[in-house]
Every structure is written in structure tokens, then in C-alpha cells.
């Protein structure tokens, strides 16, 4: 019997990919967190994280309820984990 593979959508490009191939971010207690955990989250693919800061700023504002977080914090969290 085949195992079910969870499918998630990148909030930027709207491509549907397996959950394992996307990067999960959560906005909890006025901070952006990367990785697993409980709570509401959003997913970004590797290509979208490398996009122009203006596009990412719009996505980040939408999913963090206008918290005015910098795009550099999102990229830092991503790059710190990948290294």
C-alpha cells in the first residue's frame, strides 16, 4: 500500500509540492520561526526565497499580519538552517 505524501502550496508562486521540499515558516510571539512545530504556518519554495525582496516583503506582510518584519530576517533564518 502506498504511503500518503502531504502536498503543500508555496504562498508566493502557488506551486503545489511535497511538504518535504518546501520551507515552513511560522509567525509566533512577534517572531518569525523556521521549521517544525505546532501552529499556523506558511510555506515557501527555495526559488521564491531567492526572489526579489519587494515580492517577499509583500508575502511576509500578508502572512505575519503586517508585523513589518524584514525580508532579511526570513533569508537569514533560511540560510542559517541550510548551512
pLDDT 10s digit of each residue in the chain, 83 long? Answer: 678 999 999 999 999 999 999 999 888 888 888 888 888 899 999 998 888 888 888 888 888 877 777 787 777 766 665 54
Strand-pairing partners, residue 8, are: 17
DSSP code string of 26-40: EEETTEEEES--SS-
pTM (2 d.p.) = 0.80
User: Who's near 46: CB < 8 A, 6+ residues apart?
Assistant: 23
Cα distance between residue 27 and residue 64, in whole Å: 6
pLDDT value, residue 16: 97
Angle at 60 between CA 54 and CA 61, to 5 degrees: 90
- What are the backbone angles phi and psi of residue 17, rounded to the nearest 5°? -135, 170
Amino acid at each position: 500500500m502506498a504511503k500518503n505524501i502531504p502536498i503543500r502550496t508555496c504562498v508566493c508562486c502557488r506551486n503545489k509540492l511535497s511538504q518535504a521540499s518546501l520551507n515552513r515558516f511560522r509567525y509566533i510571539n512577534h517572531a518569525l520561526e523556521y521549521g517544525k512545530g505546532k501552529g499556523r504556518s506558511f510555506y515557501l519554495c527555495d526559488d521564491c526565497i531567492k526572489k526579489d525582496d519587494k515580492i517577499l516583503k509583500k508575502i511576509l506582510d500578508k502572512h505575519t499580519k503586517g508585523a513589518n518584519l524584514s525580508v532579511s530576517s526570513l533569508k537569514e533564518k533560511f540560510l542559517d538552517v541550510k548551512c
